[in-house]
Amino acid sequence: MALPDFTMRQLLEAGVHFGHQTQRWNPKMAPYIYGQRNNIHIIDLAQTVPLLYQALKLVSDTVAQGGVFYLLAPNGRRLILSLMQLVDRLNITLTRVGLAVC
DSSP 8-state assignment for residue 21: E
What average pLDDT does this structure show over 33-49?
A: 93
pLDDT of residue 4: 75
**CB 81 within 8 Å of CB 94:** yes
pLDDT of residue 70: 72
29-38, 56-65, 88-97: range with lowest mean pLDDT? 88-97
| pLDDT tier for residue 101 given thresholds of 50, 70 and 90 | low
Question: Residue 8 CA to chain centroid, in angstroms?
Answer: 14
CA 85, CA 82: separation in Å to the nearest integer?
Answer: 5
